């Protein structure tokens, strides 16, 4: 018997929030996190006892936040704890697996010092229902992004990247690239693979032009 397919209604409506600046986690990728603040230690304890799920959301630099919840960007991602360890000084070492993105729809009462938000998954239903194949300009993407990464001293394996499918290629490059928190948020919010690829090509082609001393203003 097959495993029943999840629907949007099956996803958790309220999530505890781990607010991490500069963190990018995309669906299907993993991110190691060191947990040391008391509120997030409590969040981890609670999550481990209740499905191992939490929301990873970046704090917003804008006064009042970036959407429905003050102090937080308007889009986050549900993560599952897939590895857990403890250190001798009271910290936790966890690995988070990205599952489904969501829009923050409001805030519920917090617990043990951490915040909880209500989730609207509809804008990112593609994460659950699957995305139709969308072609990307692989040559342009590989040329621009890998050239920039090389100039930043970040090694890539071109042969391995060439073997990857479009979605895996775009995700791998987005996770590897040295991006600002705002750029990482834009990568997270890009609805599909094609949009994320276009965004990366634009960002890194502009960066290469800036390095060459060319005017990139429009």
* Cα angle value 123/126/132 (rounded, 5°): 135
Return the number of other C-beta atoms located less than 10 Å from residue 122's C-beta: 10
pLDDT over threshold 90, residue 214: no
Percentage above 90 pLDDT, the chain: 55
- What are 135's two structure tokens? 């072609």
Average pLDDT, whole number, for the chain?
88
- What are 195's two structure tokens? 């949009």
Predicted pLDDT of residue 85:
96
* Angle of the 138-151 helix axis to the 193-211 helix axis, nearest 10: 50
Closest CA to 176 of 184, 167, 185: 184
For residue 93, list its beta bridge partners: 34, 85
pLDDT digits (tens, 9 = 90+) for 92-127: 999 999 999 999 999 999 999 999 999 999 999 999
Percentage above 70 pLDDT, the chain: 93
- What letter would DSSP give residue 192? S
pLDDT over threshold 50, residue 185: yes
State whether residue 116 is helix, strand or coil.
strand
Q: Please name the residues in contact with 27: beta carbons below 8 A apart, sequence gap of 6 or more.
A: 77, 98, 99, 100, 101, 127
pLDDT category, 216, cuts 50, 70, 90?
Answer: very low
Return the number of other C-beta atoms located less than 10 Å from residue 11's C-beta: 17
- Report d(CA 122, CA 113) in Å as an integer: 29
pLDDT digits (tens, 9 = 90+) for 129-181: 877 666 788 888 888 887 888 888 887 777 888 888 888 888 888 888 888 99
Note the pTM of the prediction, 2 decimals.
0.88
């Amino acid at each position: 018997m097959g495993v029943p397919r999840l629907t949007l209604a099956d996803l958790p409506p309220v999530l505890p929030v781990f607010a991490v600046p500069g963190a990018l986690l995309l669906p299907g990728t993993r991110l190691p996190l060191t947990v040391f603040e008391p509120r997030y230690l409590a969040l981890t304890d609670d999550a481990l006892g209740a499905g191992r799920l939490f929301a990873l959301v970046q704090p917003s630099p804008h006064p009042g936040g970036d959407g429905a919840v003050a102090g937080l960007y308007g889009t986050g991602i549900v993560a599952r704890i897939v590895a857990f360890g403890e250190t001798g000084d009271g910290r936790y070492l966890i690995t988070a697996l990205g599952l489904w993105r969501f829009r923050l729809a409001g805030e519920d009462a917090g617990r043990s010092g951490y915040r909880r938000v209500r989730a609207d998954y509809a804008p990112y239903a593609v994460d659950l229902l699957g995305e139709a194949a969308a072609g990307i300009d692989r040559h342009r993407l590989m040329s621009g992004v890998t050239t920039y990464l090389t100039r930043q001293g970040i090694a890539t394996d071109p042969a391995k990247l060439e073997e990857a499918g479009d979605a895996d290629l775009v995700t791998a490059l987005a996770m590897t690239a040295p991006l600002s928190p705002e750029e990482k948020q834009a990568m997270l919010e890009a609805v599909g693979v094609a949009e994320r690829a276009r965004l990366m090509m634009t960002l890194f082609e502009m960066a290469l032009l800036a390095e060459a001393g060319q005017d990139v203003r429009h």
